[in-house]
Amino acid sequence: MAPIQRQGPGWRLALDPSRSPYQALIGGDGWAIELTGEELAQLRQLCGRLGAEHQALADQLMAEEQLELCLEQGGWWLELSGDRRHWALRFVLGGPGLGSGRGAEGHWPAPASGAFVQALLQGDCF
């Protein structure tokens, strides 16, 4: 697979399967971190779950209502916060599930968060 790079205002996603051990890079305004393929797959799964939960709840929210959804799995902790249309995404990477001794924290504000997650969930990234 050839290297893939996608980016937009406030977000970046790059994948190069020929690199080892860090095959992916995610980033936002002023920060970036390299991820292993397994870490990227876990992030993709968790973002898909958060997105599905948000979508299921969005129609039940009034325009002025806010929500926060959190997920923790492996070395990841993610938080989606916003309203029924616009949301931000924050993550912490680290802890015993990671096993590498690395740690990181990042944030994508709205609308960068939605664009990043959409690019991450597209099938041709993997």
Q: For the whole model, what pTM was predicted? A: 0.89
What is the spatial distance between Cα 60 and Cα 63, in angstroms, rounded to a whole number? 10
Closest by CA to 12, choosing from 23, 24, 27, is 27
In the chain, what are the domains?
36-125 (2.30.31.10)
- Amino acid 125: pLDDT: 56
Q: Is 62 exposed, middle or buried (0-12, 13-18, 19+ CB in 10 A)?
A: exposed
Tens of pLDDT, residues 22-76: 999 999 999 999 999 999 999 999 999 999 998 888 888 787 888 989 999 989 9
- Amino acid 23: pLDDT: 95
**Residues forming a β-bridge with 112:** none
- The answer to whether the CB of 77 falls within 8 A of the CB of 43 is no
Length of the chain: 126
Backbone angles phi, psi at 119, to 5 degrees: -65, -40
What is the overall mean pLDDT for the chain? 89
Tens of pLDDT, residues 92-111: 999 655 556 788 999 999 99
